[in-house]
Structure 1
Amino acid sequence: MSDCSDVSSYLSRCQSCRVESGCFMVYERTNYMGNQFFMRRGEYSDFQRMGLSDSIRSCRMIPMIVFYEEKNFQGRSYECMSDCSDMSSQLNRCQSCRVESGCFMMYERPNFMGNQFFMKRGEYNDMQRMQSMGMMFDNIRSCRMIPMHRGQFRMKVFERENFGGQSMELMDDCDSIMDRHRMSDCQSCNVMDGHWLMYEQPHFRGRMMYMRPGEHRSFRDQGYSNTRFMSMKRIMDSCH
């Protein structure tokens, strides 16, 4: 369920495959070199008959989400494998989606602004019914692809904007900065390693916000004003 730089470490050759879920880019040489071919869920019984090299040597998982204008995956659709700052350039509205592979952050407004919602691999057939899962809007306007991360996680959170007030460095999930670190608020942060979700309430509840590596001096930049974030979680299942 992840990248493989050298298939020969597992098989002497690979001349057919079945993609059970997700999307992959396969390569004719090791270390993701040579001719490439995109594969989505389905059966591929004979590479040579497909015009491919007679064996796959390496592969990468490719994040992909499919948006639909209507509920239950109906109407016009749009396949997305990266960030999209304005869905209206592709669809009039988005009422359902299917995450084929990877993880994505959905936004209520264009340009990655407003309320946010985290989606991993699965089917989401009715945005209006997603409120029971914590989604606070019924139409997606923009989205970000969350890159795969391997290694440690580190984030320093600050009580005030512009890295002011009390601070605490996190390397693990924190279900309550008040209970664990006696911090009453979090209004800025510096993400050193990994990708994180921040939640408005303790125990990973309420409105959420995606934080990628970098300095975040004020959460107002993402459309959050007068909002406190009280719990933080690492995004561990990217591309699974």
Structure 2
Amino acid sequence: MSKIFFYEDKNFQGRSYECDTDCSDMHPHFSRCNSIRVESGCWVLYERPNYSGFQYVLTRGEYPDYQRWMGYNDTIRSCRTISHPSGDSYRIQIYDRPDFQGQMMEFSDDRESLDESFQSRSIHSCNVMEGYWTFYEHPSYRGRQYFMPSGEYRKFSDWGAICATIGSFRYRPLIHFYEDINFGCRYHQCMGDCAAVTPSKWKVVTSWTMIPMIVFYEDNNFQGRSYECSNDCTDLHTYFSRCNSIRVESGCFMIYERPNYMGHQYYMKRGEYPEYQRWMGFSSTIRSCRTIPAYRGSYRLKIYEKADYGGHMMEFTDDCPCVSDRFHHRHVYSCNVMNGYWIFYEYPNHRGRQYFLKPGEYRRYRDWCATCAIVGSFRRVADY
């Protein structure tokens, strides 16, 4: 069962209201909403009654003020739960003209910056074929939000938007429980709490995937003020002033020294990091983070000794602890990531500055945010 608590004041103070079902008009229960605690499930909140106005998608967690859910004000007037979809895949088709006309592209994964792949920031119609999705007004999952269940949307007003501008979108993640190890055999999917994890007639659950979770602490050894995060965040400065320890409870993350995924990068898998030296940090400054989507397929990577895919080329499908031993060069000027997620390291044996590479084309080393072409080692992200 899904459950959410609304509080009239910040930091979970003042009059509160507990809700476990859809509600088209919440005004009789509270006059304002400045903090929220989602105990279970996933929810869409709306600024106005009858599921209209600004929308906010909330997952399980605590939101001590309305800025935490990217709210524009303290007004919440309706809410609805998000039930999990019936299938396991995600497919969406977007169009640059109404009624499914003009340029069309189909996606099955998140898009942090739509204009990089769609070459247009205007979506006038959309067909959500599988799964649940959330549209965002700006890149990096910022700005106004629009929740998109399966269905046809012939014009942007069909999903509650006032204009066709979309900067990014992502699908609604599930937790998958598997009967066999290595994610084999039957599975059960869940979007929230479940009182009986083991589905009927199952004897045991031996593997699962789950929503990523990272906790930042201001002081060493997990002390001081903390902030819990399960999504990408372009600016963490509002939540803490310094970061001296981290606990990754689930999933994999890249954390960044500067806002908007800039500066030194650090790859974080599940585990405890009681001081910043444990993640090879140069200082206690962390200003942005992003999740690395779970991936179970094959890995393929091509590296080149010259820019624009020129010169000597070599293809890899596994980790490389010393690039110069196999590639006979320490300089990688361009790269094509065909499958999987990878981390480049400045020095051999996975040391030094780190660079996260997702599938795509990198025609010069600046495309993966490096200041020079030196790559000493690299490895696959396979620690989900």
Q: Does the CA-based 8 Å contact 1:106-1:140 persist in structure 2?
A: yes
Q: Higher relative contact order by CA 8 Å / sep ≥ 6: 1 or 2?
A: 1
Partner of 1:102: 251
Look up the SS of the partner of 2:253 in the other structure: strand
More helix by share: 1
Corresponding residue to 1:37 among 176, 192, 205: 192
Q: Does the CA-based 8 Å contact 1:200-1:227 persist in structure 2?
A: no
Q: Does the CA-based 8 Å contact 1:114-1:222 persist in structure 2?
A: no
Look up the SS of the partner of 1:232 in the other structure: strand
Q: Does the CA-based 8 Å contact 1:191-1:214 persist in structure 2?
A: yes
Partner of 2:337: 191
C-alpha change, 1:101 and 1:182, in structure 2 (3 Å) is same
Number of aligned pairs? 198
* Letter of the 2:362 counterpart: H
Look up the SS of the partner of 1:200 in the other structure: strand
Q: Deviations over 1:111-151 (max 9, x none)?
A: 11121112111111222x43xx6323322111121111112
After superposing the two structures, state which structure 1 stretch, 110-119 or 58-67, moved more.
58-67
User: Is 1:206 aligned with 2:355?
Assistant: no
Corresponding residue to 1:4 among 173, 177, 185: 177
1:222 Cα deviation after fit: 4.7
d(CA) in 2 for partners of 1:191 and 1:121?
24
TM-score, normalised via structure 1 length:
0.72
1:161 Cα deviation after fit: 2.7
d(CA) in 2 for partners of 1:217 and 1:80?
33
User: Is 1:165 aligned with 2:308?
Assistant: no
* Letter of the 2:239 counterpart: Q
C-alpha change, 1:178 and 1:222, in structure 2 (3 Å) is closer
Superposed structure 1 runs of 4+ greater than 4 Å apart: none
Q: Does the CA-based 8 Å contact 1:186-1:230 persist in structure 2?
A: no
Partner of 1:18: none
d(CA) in 2 for partners of 1:60 and 1:204?
26
Partner of 2:163: none
Q: Does the CA-based 8 Å contact 1:104-1:145 persist in structure 2?
A: yes
- The within-5 A match list for 1:19-168 is 31-32=188-189, 36-38=191-193, 47=195, 57=199, 60-127=209-276, 129-130=277-278, 134-168=280-314
Aligned CA RMSD, in angstroms, stands at 2.7
d(CA) in 1 for partners of 2:273 and 2:323?
31
Look up the SS of the partner of 2:246 in the other structure: strand
Look up the SS of the partner of 2:177 in the other structure: coil
Q: Does the CA-based 8 Å contact 2:216-2:226 persist in structure 1?
A: yes
Q: Does the CA-based 8 Å contact 1:187-1:229 persist in structure 2?
A: no
Partner of 1:232: 378
1:216 Cα deviation after fit: 1.9
After superposing the two structures, state which structure 1 stretch, 135-144 or 207-216, moved more.
135-144
d(CA) in 1 for partners of 2:346 and 2:271?
25
Gaps of 5+ in 2: 1-174, 182-186, 200-204
Q: Does the CA-based 8 Å contact 1:157-1:167 persist in structure 2?
A: yes
* Percent of matched pairs sharing the same residue: 45
Gaps of 5+ in 1: 11-29, 40-46, 48-53
1:223 Cα deviation after fit: 3.8
d(CA) in 2 for partners of 1:229 and 1:202?
8
